[in-house]
With several copies, the nearest count.
Chain A
């Protein structure tokens, strides 16, 4: 029914006493996420939304057997928080903050790989499995519904737009994964697609990409292994070269990272590529029939 995140996932919130941490803890609980603890140094003993607060991840893991963590601390403290989670046995780590220095992300991703942990983000809206009634992220709760479509996106609000259009078209989602808008993030399209391949309940996949990097090209060849229909929508055809379009990763540099080569590669390996977000739902319906 989902990938990576299920109803059994026991979640802690790092930075739970901040505004963002508090607000999204409430939202996650409302969606059904099993949030078992929160971290805020020197605030152990407090409760936030009925969730016990601990000084350290170690104490939280010891007390709650948590295996996943969502990080809300400010960017300068994110590497510390990520390593605290990883070194204490957390194996699914969602990194919400944006503006984390790339060198820090490199270290986080390398360490996670060495330890066999999965990092979602940084600069992500998170991951949500509607059928499992659980999410780790900041996405609005009401736009998703359970179903057979896997969604993997680099961008947040744009993925909401598309998920909502799928929901409105009665095309529910198995899991929606936000890879994050930074140059270096934990996942690639390939790693997420491989999870979707293994999930029997995911019948088709929507890829939401954008300019910058070559993640889409790299993924194109993998589509044949995936063996499930794919609809791809990529943003940024109106973007000029050399300008960073908001995301640190969304920039056409020295001729690389344009939409043309991305779309061409995806089409060549069987993806249905649409050029406007409102065309996604119809394309999904057509590839599934």
Chain B
């Protein structure tokens, strides 16, 4: 779960990492007041889209009056599909140098990874490998101060900046570890007046660990529909096609999208109905798919823990209540396959046993519906 910039900065501050003076702006008056308080400021849209600056999501104000005007302009604006509801006004910095620092999890090493670079200010993917210092953390040891000094030394830092940087590595790892972060990144890590300041920050938290961080502000960056399905407890991603998809298992769901694309169709969504979802949530999820008004719906089930008769019951439940006014293609194999297929057949729905055939048929029906 990504955190808004102002939340990320608040966390840094709580761990003693210097951030520029800043305050939240919810109204044009807030904008004026912010500039009056902190002086010439950048007003930054608090949305979780990349390339925020280029899209007009960061603007500057020299005076309170300008702050009011800019806030007025920005609040409510559309930024890559997201409505801007909140701005963060932050003091403009006289930046001498820009560094980069992050802590993340390296999947292959299965360890925390500290990355640092003297080439701050651009995406780390765009920095040449030999300009990046990488240091793996032994989770049994953690990050003691020496580790920070080693990174600082590897970057060739000296004096005050060496010490501040070494200290910052320790704190950043504490955030990563104690807040269950997937990524905590300061970029650019600015040098202002000879001291380090976190000019911009990213903080992505581990969804699975939210239960032990009751104080965290939950940010669901999804669309309204995505949030609705997430509340049922299922994984759901909106796509831009017209064939709605439900499958059980994340891999199966991905493969189903691939199959639709393979036959020339365009999937409307990713929906993992879970490894063993029961009738209720399955029906609810299917109801959401119907509400999307797709050109066709493809249900692809390989029954392992999931029972085919449960899935059939869920389909029939939706059919009998809200109705399914679009072409429905069902592929149903595995546990209790016979019972499930029989249930559907009794309701006039033919089930496929081959995934390829079902996907091809769904694509065909969606094209016919155009």
- A181 proximal to B (CB < 8 A): yes
- B275 proximal to A (CB < 8 A): yes
Known: A80-B145, A239-B254, A278-B356. 7 other contacts (CB 8 A): A79-B144, A80-B146, A102-B209, A138-B275, A214-B107, A248-B207, A278-B355
Complexed CA–CA distance, A59 and B259 (Å): 50
- A67 proximal to B (CB < 8 A): no
Complexed CA–CA distance, A106 and B111 (Å): 6
- B339 proximal to A (CB < 8 A): no
CB-contact partner of A156 in B123, B152, B182, B249, under 8 A = B249
A/B interface sample: 27 pairs, CB < 8 A: A41-B166, A42-B159, A80-B144, A83-B144, A84-B150, A104-B209, A106-B112, A139-B304, A140-B303, A140-B334, A157-B252, A159-B251, A161-B252, A161-B302, A164-B334, A237-B258, A238-B257, A238-B258, A238-B260, A239-B257, A240-B237, A240-B239, A242-B50, A245-B254, A246-B250, A255-B125, A277-B259
Complexed CA–CA distance, A153 and B252 (Å): 12
Known contacts: A103-B177, A160-B304. The answer to whether A238 contacts B146 by CB under 8 A is no
Contact check, A245 vs B180: say whether CB atoms are below 8 A apart.
Answer: no
Contacts of B14 in A (CB 8 A): none
- B348 proximal to A (CB < 8 A): no
- B232 proximal to A (CB < 8 A): no
Complexed CA–CA distance, A276 and B108 (Å): 26
Least CB distance, A266 to chain B, in whole angstroms: 16
Contacts of B81 in A (CB 8 A): none
Q: Which of B188-223 contact A (CB under 8 A)?
A: 206-209, 211-212
Q: Which of B136-165 contact A (CB under 8 A)?
A: 138-141, 144-146, 149-150, 152-153, 158-159, 162-163
- B110 proximal to A (CB < 8 A): yes
- A211 proximal to B (CB < 8 A): yes
Contact check, A157 vs B304: say whether CB atoms are below 8 A apart.
Answer: yes
- A244 proximal to B (CB < 8 A): yes
- On A, residues with C-beta under 8 Å from B are 41-42, 44, 55-59, 75-77, 79-81, 83-84, 87, 98-107, 109-111, 114, 125, 138-140, 143, 153-161, 164, 181, 183-185, 188, 208, 210-211, 213-215, 218, 235-240, 242-250, 254-256, 275-278
Least CB distance, B139 to chain A, in whole angstroms: 5
Contacts of A58 in B (CB 8 A): 150, 153
Least CB distance, B158 to chain A, in whole angstroms: 6
Known contacts: A218-B108, A246-B254. The answer to whether A155 contacts B208 by CB under 8 A is no
Contacts of A256 in B (CB 8 A): 125
Contact check, A276 vs B356: say whether CB atoms are below 8 A apart.
Answer: yes
Contacts of B138 in A (CB 8 A): 87, 110
Least CB distance, A110 to chain B, in whole angstroms: 5
- On B, residues with C-beta under 8 Å from A are 50, 105, 107-108, 110-112, 123, 125, 138-141, 144-146, 149-150, 152-153, 158-159, 162-163, 166, 177, 180, 182, 206-209, 211-212, 235, 237, 239, 247-255, 257-262, 267, 270, 272, 275, 302-306, 333-335, 354-356
Complexed CA–CA distance, A109 and B261 (Å): 37
Complexed CA–CA distance, A106 and B139 (Å): 7
Contact check, A244 vs B146: say whether CB atoms are below 8 A apart.
Answer: no
Complexed CA–CA distance, A264 and B253 (Å): 23
Closest 3 CB pairs of A and B: A155-B251, A246-B250, A157-B249
Contact check, A215 vs B107: say whether CB atoms are below 8 A apart.
Answer: yes
Contact check, A111 vs B258: say whether CB atoms are below 8 A apart.
Answer: no
Contacts of B260 in A (CB 8 A): 238
Complexed CA–CA distance, A218 and B267 (Å): 30
Nearest-CB residue, chain A, relative to B162: A42
Contact check, B108 vs A158: say whether CB atoms are below 8 A apart.
Answer: no
Contacts of A247 in B (CB 8 A): 250-251
Contact check, B208 vs A99: say whether CB atoms are below 8 A apart.
Answer: yes
Contacts of A107 in B (CB 8 A): 139
Complexed CA–CA distance, A42 and B161 (Å): 10
Contacts of A157 in B (CB 8 A): 247-249, 251-252, 275, 302, 304, 306
Least CB distance, A111 to chain B, in whole angstroms: 7
Complexed CA–CA distance, A83 and B142 (Å): 10
Contact check, B107 vs A213: say whether CB atoms are below 8 A apart.
Answer: yes
Complexed CA–CA distance, A99 and B208 (Å): 5
Nearest-CB residue, chain A, relative to B272: A246
Known contacts: A138-B304, A278-B355. The answer to whether A158 contacts B208 by CB under 8 A is no
Known contacts: A41-B149, A214-B108. The answer to whether A244 contacts B237 by CB under 8 A is yes
Known contacts: A110-B138, A138-B304. The answer to whether A235 contacts B111 by CB under 8 A is no
CB-contact partner of A278 in B166, B257, B270, B354, under 8 A = B354
CB-contact partner of A55 in B139, B162, B207, B254, under 8 A = B162
Complexed CA–CA distance, A107 and B137 (Å): 12
Least CB distance, A258 to chain B, in whole angstroms: 13
Nearest-CB residue, chain A, relative to B247: A157
Contact check, A140 vs B304: say whether CB atoms are below 8 A apart.
Answer: yes
Contact check, B144 vs A237: say whether CB atoms are below 8 A apart.
Answer: no
